[in-house]
Chain A
Amino acid sequence: MKIAVNVHLKKGVLDPQGKAVLHALETLGFKDVKDVRVGKQILLEIDTADKQKAIEEAKKMADELLANPVIENYEIEVKE
């Protein structure tokens, strides 16, 4: 089963990479872009057919390692 863990900085935490990308987009002429947040996606291939179990495992992984709860939020997405 393929699971994606999407990690983003929390709302109140300034995202300097997002800011830099925003400025670059403005330079390119994309004037409508209001805000950019850069996150990361971690793709997991878990050896189980049990969707619920896979989601629970991924959640544990995110809490313990993949995300830092002080500054980051995550969401889990089942790919296939």
Chain B
Amino acid sequence: MKVGVIVFPGTNCDRDTKWAFEKIGAKAEFIWHTEHNLNGFDLIVLPGGFSYGDYLRSGAIARFSPVMQNVIEFAKKGGYVLGICNGFQILLESHLLPGAMTRNENLHFISKFHHLKVINNNNKFLQNLNIGEIINIPIAHAEGNYKVDEDLLKEMYDNEQVLLKYCDKDGNELNPNGSVDSIAGICNKEKNVFGLMPHPERAMESILGGVDGIRMLEGFLK
């Protein structure tokens, strides 16, 4: 499998992300934001960071970068796209995923391990995990307060698009940032575009706190 990791000015999780995919046996390459050619890639990843300094709104400017026009086309043709943290924000701003992000309810930048509950696994990304399973993955964001209107949210539940929710170690809902229904990760209706605020690429080594990211990313290998 060949993974393309998009690098915008201000992206800072690109190297971790490339390393994480190489660790599970994939080939990974960086794609600079001015490039256009996505031929031959099986998965495009928009990594975390602060693309374009988070100017205007997180992800708002990255959406107009040259490579994003190709990423949008790639996604619309059914190609797999994963957005992590700032990458998730970019996918929302690009309308590849429904909803929007606002500042965390407590205004803090939150950086810590957080438990997540798997809500749906009927997709490539979470196919290795069980529904109801609790995993532990780091979060690191100031704008992860996910908002979507009620009608759309209902539609998302019906279509199994709500993938992950924040919880405590026992699985009780625990909301760090104010997100609607404590939502941490979603996908599109066609289940080929995925976005989440937590960082699976930072949960790949037990010595660094956990390995729950491995089974998530490995979903894309199958």
Chain A residues near B (Cβ < 8 Å): 9, 13-14, 16-17, 20, 65-66, 68, 70-71
CA distance A9 to B93 in the complex (A): 16
CB-CB under 8 A from B178, the residues of chain A are: 14, 16
Known interface pairs A65-B60, A70-B99, A70-B100. Does A13 touch B147 (Cβ–Cβ under 8 Å)?
Answer: yes
In the bound assembly, the distance between CA atoms of A13 and B104 in angstroms comes to 12
Residues of chain A within 8 A (CB-CB) of B56 are: 65-66
CA of A9 to CA of B102 in the docked complex: distance in angstroms? 9
Q: Judging by beta carbons under 8 Å apart, are B107 and A71 in contact?
A: no
Q: List residues of chain A with CB within 8 A of the CB of B99.
A: 70
Residue among A16, A17, A65, A71 making CB contact with B100, cutoff 8 Å: A71
Q: Are A71 and B102 in contact (CB under 8 A)?
A: yes
B147: which A residues are within 8 A, CB to CB?
A: 13, 70-71
Q: Can you identify 17 A-B contacts, CB atoms within 8 angstroms?
A: A13-B102, A13-B147, A14-B145, A16-B102, A16-B103, A16-B104, A16-B105, A16-B107, A16-B145, A16-B178, A17-B107, A65-B56, A65-B64, A68-B57, A70-B100, A70-B149, A71-B100
Complex contact B60–A16 (CB within 8 A) = no
For window 71-113 of B, CB contacts with A under 8 Å fall at: 93, 99-100, 102-107
- Within the complex, the shortest CB–CB distance from B52 to chain A, in Å, comes to 12
| Contact of B93 (CB < 8 Å), options: A13, A16, A66, A68 | A68
* Cβ B105 vs Cβ A68 within 8 A: no
Which chain A residue shows the least CB distance to B103?
A: A16
Q: How far is the CA of A70 from the CA of B100 in the complex (A)?
A: 6
Q: For residue A68, which residues in chain B have a CB less than 8 angstroms away from its CB?
A: 57, 60, 93, 100
A13 to B56, CA, bound (A): 18
Closest 10 CB pairs of A and B: A70-B100, A71-B100, A16-B107, A16-B103, A68-B100, A71-B147, A16-B105, A20-B107, A71-B102, A68-B57
The complex places the Cα of A17 from the Cα of B102 at a distance, in Å, of 11
| Chain A min CB distance to B110 (Å) | 13
Q: How far is the CB of B152 from chain A (nearest CB, A)?
A: 9
**Interface: B148 (CB within 8 A):** yes
Besides A14-B145, A65-B60, A71-B102, 5 other A-B contacts (C-beta < 8 A): A16-B102, A17-B107, A65-B64, A68-B100, A71-B147
A70 to B147, CA, bound (A): 8
Tell me the minimal C-beta distance from A15 to chain B in angstroms: 8
> Do A14 and B105 touch (CB < 8 A)?
yes
**Residue pair A17, B60 in contact (C-beta under 8 Å):** no
Q: List A contacts of B102 (CB < 8 A).
A: 9, 13-14, 16, 71
Which A residues lie within 8 Å of B93 (CB)? 68
